Amino acid sequence: MQIDIITVLPKILEGPLNQSIVKRAQDSNLVDIHIHDLRDFSQDKHKSVDDYQYGGGAGMVLMVEPIARCIESLSSKKRYDEIIYMSPDGIQLNQGICNKLSLDKNLLILCGHYKGVDERVRENFITMEISIGDYVLSGGELAAAVLADSIIRLIPGVLSDETSALTDSFQDGLLAPPVYTRPSDFKGMKVPPVLLSGNAAEIEKWRHKMAIERTKEKRSDLLD
């Protein structure tokens, strides 16, 4: 898979995308991540990429010209399965969307900034808009990092135990059950005996029951 990300602040993405599982995925050539500085596609001598919004109002807007130039340049080299704009009014990210996108070959992600992007970008270039929650960030970079991480970990071979992703919260519409590790008895706080029994069928039944109970308690909306 290749993920291209367009941003006006590339350094914000350097840390999150060069650590842990995402870094190992890149080192293993399971994913290529390329970060593109939007200012490189500005023809203004000052490398400007934003301007005041028509009609007045607070906040600058990313201009259509450098974004269009960047997307057209990248699209001339490869076909993108989706061109995604990170936006608070996009469809809210969930595990089903992550699963679907993890099957794609090429993704292009546009990070908004300031007051957003010229609407003509959204109307003519974007194929999918995604939000990571009902709140506003200073820019789309951290949201893009969240999206990339949630997709990359699902690519076969990225996780050392490929069944791990299949038992994550939301994969079956439920929250994950409680998990425990050594010691089995910490100051009188004990691990449930069933997990020490070695009976795989009973352990699986217990985990499913606890997943339902935890979902009912913390996210009853999922059960609806």
**What pLDDT is attached to residue 173?**
83
3-state secondary structure of 9: coil
Strands 128-131 and 50-52: unpaired
Alpha helices in the chain (DSSP H): 11-14, 20-27, 64-75, 95-101, 119-124, 141-152, 200-218, 220-223
3-state secondary structure of 182: coil
Interval 76-86: pLDDT, tens: 999 999 999 99
Q: Is the dihedral of CA 15, 20, 22, 23 positive or negative?
A: positive
* Structural domains of the chain, ranges and CATH numbers in brackets: 2-152 (3.40.1280.10), 169-223 (1.10.1270.20)
Please give the Cα distance from 49 to 40 (Å, whole number): 10
Query: Rounded to two decimals, what is the model's pTM?
Result: 0.88
> Residue 42 pLDDT more than 80?
yes
Write out the two tokens for 134.
């009902």
Question: Over 70: is that where the pLDDT of 66 sits?
Answer: yes
pLDDT at 172: 75
Q: Is the pLDDT of residue 169 over 60?
A: no
**Euclidean distance between CA atoms 180 and 171, whole angstroms:** 20
